[in-house]
Amino acid sequence: MIDVSERAAELLAKADAAARRFNPDARIRVVPADGGVRFVLSDGPEDGDVAIERDEVTFFVDPTLAGTVDVEEPHDRLVLRPHTPRG
């Protein structure tokens, strides 16, 4: 399960709008990379991707990932934070 923080949703919306000015089919995908994740542009989902919609922006997430897409300061870097157990 993937959640998206409010700040991350704002950054994803800006990145989505910028990418779609050059390619109307462009979408953001979140994929595993080197023990973390990368945010890449794609023309659509890969097999098994989960479509997430937030603030009218659709992006795709590799189904093996779970956590919260958030922003790491001070450089507004998007990251995937693990879910913290409730208890």
What confidence tens digit (pLDDT) does each residue in 19-39 have?
999 999 999 999 999 878 899
**pLDDT tens, position by position, 45-76:** 999 999 999 888 899 999 999 999 999 988 88
Among the CATH numbers 1.10.10.10, 3.50.50.60, 2.60.300.12, 3.30.70.1350, which is that of 2-81? 2.60.300.12
What are the C-alpha distances in Å from 23 to residues 16, 19, 27, 43, 55? Answer: 10, 6, 9, 8, 20
Token match 């157990």: residue?
Answer: 85
Distance CA 56, CA 82 (A): 24
